[in-house]
């Protein structure tokens, strides 16, 4: 018997393969992800996976894009937990959602921000729609603040000309993206990413009663540094 009857086929196998991949990534980490191990768990043979993904890298890319979408969704929810105009609360909402997602799915975070799979090269263009979704909430709130004339900017410097093409990609994707908004958003993102990634690696002690004190101090300091009043 080579091809099983429809009744014995796994329905929606493409999704099931991804779910199994996530399960294994959670267990053994992204770098040790194995197509054959996925196949074993699903009781199919490894080449069967090639009917759904042209190679292992394509599977990884699909996982990354799904992760970005979920990551972005959490941040949109975090932002909208406070109404328009509540700049500080909306910004904090994004930061907290960002951190919560990373702590809920540490392997997904490292899949996105590490280079975890041997030989895998990040297909920036393919992933861009999903990755821009995950940065959009931050961009949008900083832009809200700027339009309300509440954005504090010290020492802004414009973008280098050589980098304009990549910058253009962002701008078209966002509709528009003011350079100052971009500048401040990058400062904020880097601070949140820095503390979250060090936390995930166990490099940061758990300050405060619930272990969140350092992160909250980071967020609070950004609010007073970048938002007027």
Partner DNA sequence: TAATTTAATAAACACTGTATATTTACACTG
Partner DNA sequence: CAGTGTAAATATACAGTGTTTATTAAATTA
Residue 227 phi, psi (nearest 5):
-115, 130
Q: Is 19 helix (H, G, I), strand (E, B) or coil?
A: helix
Regarding 157 and contact with a copy of itself (CB under 8 A), the answer is yes
| Residue 229 binds which entry of DNA, a copy of itself, none, CB below 5-8 Å type-dependent | none
What DSSP designation does 83 have?
-
Distance CA 229, CA 226 (A): 10
What part of residues 160-189 is at the interface with a copy of itself (CB under 8 A)?
160, 162-163, 166-167, 182-183, 186-187, 189
Regarding 27 and contact with DNA (CB under 7 A), the answer is no
Instruction: Please state the closest distance from residue 13 (CB atom) to a copy of itself, in A.
Output: 25
Ramachandran sector of residue 141 (left: φ over 0; alpha: ψ -120 to 50; beta: rest): alpha
Q: End-to-end CA distance of the chain, in Å?
A: 73
The smaller minimum CB distance to a copy of itself, of residues 80 and 123, is found at 123
Contact 41, 64 (CB under 8 A): no
Regarding 147 and contact with a copy of itself (CB under 8 A), the answer is no
Regarding 204 and contact with a copy of itself (CB under 8 A), the answer is yes
Number of residues that bind a copy of itself (CB under 8 A): 57
- Chain residues binding DNA by CB under 7 A are 1-7, 9-10, 13, 33-37, 43-48, 50-52, 55-57
């Amino acid at each position: 018997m080579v091809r099983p009857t429809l009744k014995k086929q796994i329905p929606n196998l493409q999704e099931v393969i991804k779910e199994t991949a996530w399960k294994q990534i959670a267990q053994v980490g992204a770098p040790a992800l194995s197509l054959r191990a996925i196949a074993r768990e699903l009781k199919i043979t490894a080449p069967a996976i090639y009917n759904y993904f042209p190679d292992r890298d394509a599977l990884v890319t699909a996982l990354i894009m799904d992760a970005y979408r979920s990551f972005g969704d959490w941040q949109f929810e975090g932002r909208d937990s406070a109404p328009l105009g509540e700049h500080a609360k909306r910004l904090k909402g994004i930061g907290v959602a960002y951190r919560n997602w990373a702590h809920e799915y540490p392997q997904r975070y490292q899949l996105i921000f590490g280079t975890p799979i041997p030989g895998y090269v990040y297909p920036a263009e393919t992933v861009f729609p999903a990755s821009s979704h995950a940065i959009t909430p931050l961009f949008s709130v900083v832009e809200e603040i700027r339009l309300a004339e509440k954005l504090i900017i010290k020492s802004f410097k414009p973008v280098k000309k050589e980098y304009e093409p990549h910058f253009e990609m962002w701008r078209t994707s966002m509709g528009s993206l003011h350079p100052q908004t971009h500048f401040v958003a990058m400062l904020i993102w880097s601070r949140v990413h820095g503390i979250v990634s060090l936390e995930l690696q166990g490099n940061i002690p758990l300050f405060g009663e619930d272990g969140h004190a350092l992160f909250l101090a980071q967020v609070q300091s950004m609010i007073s540094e970048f938002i007027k009043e």
